[in-house]
Copies of this chain bind each other. A is one copy, B any other.
């Protein structure tokens, strides 16, 4: 149980974690296969191995969920990944659409020392460049202020972008061109059947639903009346 896992195994655990976050249900072989760009049969194989190692609970035909030790490993990998994204972005001049790929490779390779150095130099940050939360040294996820996908907010609400739930390079690049970057102020103009109409500075956009559901803001407080 002390043996170091393969990169592949770490990836499986990471994506089981990420998929569980969304759905609360057991993670299906199919969903994993799609994520990992691998055939479902290969997933079944790996799930059996991870189950042997007590890193997941796996009931054939019923999907998998992490055990607590599996979850710790997933969080460790996630911490690596998100610290790396921020490090690349803050310290090495990467743009937010470039960080994901590089982090994806490095996350399995860096030492605890490297992780600690990054965290230190970054001032023990709580969120990466996409607003994703970074587990702390004890692998606890930070409890940030409430954030909302812009699809869930009423017209008139304003707030700053705090999270963008995609790692797709081209999408991120597109958002950059629209000034829809981290911390950008934004107003919800209207929810419509084909998207969310918003204002950013002087510009107005109609963001298609699929994209809009990935953009999250923290609502501004009502102005304090003095």
Contact = CB atoms under 8 A, between A and B. Distances in A.
Interface of A: 88, 91-94, 98, 101-102, 105-106, 109-111, 113-114, 117-118, 121
Contacts of A93: 117
Contact of A114 (B102, B113, B114, B118): B102
A180 to B, nearest CB: 24
Contacts of A121: 92
Contacts of A91: 91
Nearest to A107: B109
Contact of A117 (B92, B105, B114): B92
Closest 6 pairs between A and B when the two form their complex, measured CB to CB: A92-B117, A105-B109, A109-B109, A102-B111, A106-B109, A102-B114
Contacts of A101: 111
Majority secondary structure, A binding face: helix
A102 B113 contact: yes
Given A92-B121, A121-B92, A106 B113 contact: no
B110 A106 contact: yes
Contacts of A111: 101-102, 105
20 contacts: A88-B114, A91-B91, A92-B114, A92-B117, A92-B118, A92-B121, A93-B117, A94-B113, A98-B113, A101-B111, A102-B110, A102-B111, A102-B113, A102-B114, A105-B109, A105-B111, A106-B106, A106-B109, A106-B110, A109-B109
Given A92-B118, A101-B111, A105-B111, 8 more contacts: A92-B114, A92-B117, A92-B121, A93-B117, A94-B113, A98-B113, A105-B109, A106-B106
